[in-house]
Structure 1
Amino acid sequence: MTVDLSWLATYRSSEPHFGLERMEAILALRGNPHLVCPVIHLAGTNGKGSTIAHLRSLLEVRGLRVGVFSSPYLVSFNEQIGINGVPISDKDLEDYLALYRDLLERNSSDQTLLGLTEFELITAMAFDYFAAEKPDVVIMEVGMGGRLDSTNVCQPILTAITTIGLDHVALLGPDVASIAREKAGIIKEKIPVLLGRIELEAQEVIVQEAHRLSAPVEVLGQDFLVCYQESLADGEVFTYQSQNRSEVQLKTGLLGIYQVDNAGLALALCDAFFQERGLSLLSQDEIIQAWSQVQWPGRLEIISTQPLIILDGAHNPHAVRPLIETLQERYAQLDKQVLFTCIQTKAIEEMLDLWLELEGSQLTLTTFEDPRAYSVKETQEIALQKGLPHQEWKLFLTNYIEKESQQSDLLLVTGSLYFLAQVRAFLIEKISRR
């Protein structure tokens, strides 16, 4: 069964309609389901998804039922809403779509609901689903910013901000302090907030807001320490130490040096949650067990070994820099090809300049079918300006897989996660037919 999403798509907007009034109004019509579940609320420029993946694995290892709302999706629309990694069923999704369609038709004269967006409706359905299913805890990922994001109607038991970097500057502000101010909008009075590796200027803005709201703050590098040790074929090794834990050596199964920060923040959040619930902290063995199984598609994901093809959704300069560092650390001796594109709200030229600095690599620019993507003409013009090859991505990948003479030691497909969603399905089918 394929769920008909055409009604929902009519609420799609090219730009977010920031504000919480519409969310509060529609959720009130549903009995305020967003106030029912215990929520851990995560904001940040990058690292949210990987932090959630680590945290979910930690919580599940103790047998907890963990709801997750996260976007965008890579495989199916349903995966944005799930419990213990199982996406909402087609039947439940169809029921909620019908419910909200009927709700809006019956309240069509309510001016407060005008301007509702697709993302707001998905967020509302997620709250509704979790209220009905009653998981032990729900992890909610901010869509964009924080202060006025649709997820910020929740009343969390913990909040976290993973990283701060320049992204969506037209909407969130032109500098890291402005963006930090928007992310800090998720902080609630007297509710603990945990911070990942955040540069000092942004960190000061967030800490100041936390103090204003009497919210306890824990900061990576101060209250909990993460130290990278080495990269192995199956993950990253690091040490962790906090006020609650003496130094312990751990390993995450996700690839990428930057993943040790995401794992460390997740462990600090897990410890804070367990303390809040009066539960004993996880043992070293439990943590290692949890993270040996952690997965997060589209983040340094090896989709093929022969040839070696890696997918990564680094979609802003703040994400590209650590990805390049990881490639240089892990695959320094390999010749690399990079196939790249992004959506129109991203700093495409800055990212291209970063990729051009990657030693031993060949960069190709492309585009993809999506209303948010650059047009073929636009990307061709940018490619011409930068002196880069430009090719339709399906043709590029077909030729790459079928003609061994064109293959380098490593192909990285990167940029927009919306792009990777299309590429991933295409590659899995292509490779399975070989």
Structure 2
Amino acid sequence: MQEKFFTLLQLNKSIRNLVAGIGREFWIVAEIAHIQVQEHAYLELVQKENERIVAKARGIIWGNVLQQLLAEQPETLPMILKAGANIRCRVVVNFHEVHGLALHINAVDAFYTLGEMEQQRLRTLAKLEQSGLLYLQQNLSLPPVLQKIAVVSSETAAGFGDFMNQLDANPWGYRFVVTLFPASVQGENAVPGLVEQIGRVGKHFDVLVIIRGGGARLDLEVFNSEAVAAAIARCPIPVLTGIGHQRDSTIADRTAYLSLKTPTAVAEFILQNNLQFESKIFDLMRKIALYGSGKINEQHALLNEWRLGLIRKTHEKISREHMQQQRLQMGVKSFTKEKMRSARHRLEVFEQFFRFSNPKYLLEKGYFLIRQHHHYLKASDLQPDMQVEIEGDRLIVEAKIGNKIN
């Protein structure tokens, strides 16, 4: 007996009838492995366990449903429907004889995806903290003057233009050397592009600025990437972020040295940082000028005091010397007078002595001199019978010496 068999078409029709008999929708959770959006959206849905795919199915969002979902969620849906996103969606199981099994997606729960993204964000933060990268930038020091600036941004982004306009139009005339490292800030290639450009920034820059203009929360999801955050943490110079207008900060913001709300706010921070340094310099110059002026006045007063003291001491010295001179003059005069009086007295004594010693004085007193041949004789020179002349006061007598009387 020949065994009964079915054709493939018969089997597929039977499967289609069985699937059609389900007759209701299901909420499922899956990861989008691949998506192609044209008139309709074609998705490859997978489920992974330990990075191993354990289930796979095709998903389709028909054009009319896609337009309705976009109208309901114009900001979030484009960011949810991308490769790598975990979605919660309402599906109808459909089986086609030619195309096989497919899940027709009629609704997407954006809040589920956002919650999953937040959970992933928290896991990434915990991992960065455990590896010591989350606060690594805080060990760096911001230079007092920011002049050589590296910027990672899309060259055509409005945020980059706002940043440059704020720097260029500053009222203090500060000039900056800005080097752009262009990178896409959204899309599939954004993460590797950002990591590559951040890695190119060297120590010869004062600061790295990462900026992106405003957008929906999901538009900024690239800055919640662990790879981008790790590249920021390992950057050798301080990193400033100005990513969008959202109230919640990204992981890149948490990892950076300083996070500011907008690109314009980053530029304003740089200007204020430089202005603060300039103000400190001017304040220091003012203090130095005041200190120098005070020192000059102090030294001037000291010099004036020394000058007055020198004048006073000079006058005192001159006065003392004058008094000393007067005393010396008086002493010399007194000494001279005393010497002259003493000399005069001695002279008088000598004169009296000479006068008393003068033979004429003796002759006037009645004494006489004996001479022989004009030579005066002493008594011991006299001999008997010696012929002599006796000289007295106005009298000369010739005589002969008699005998000596014993």
* TM-score range for the pair, normalised by the shorter chain length: under 0.3
Q: Max radius of gyration: which structure?
A: 2
The TM-score, its normalising length taken from structure 2, stands at 0.24
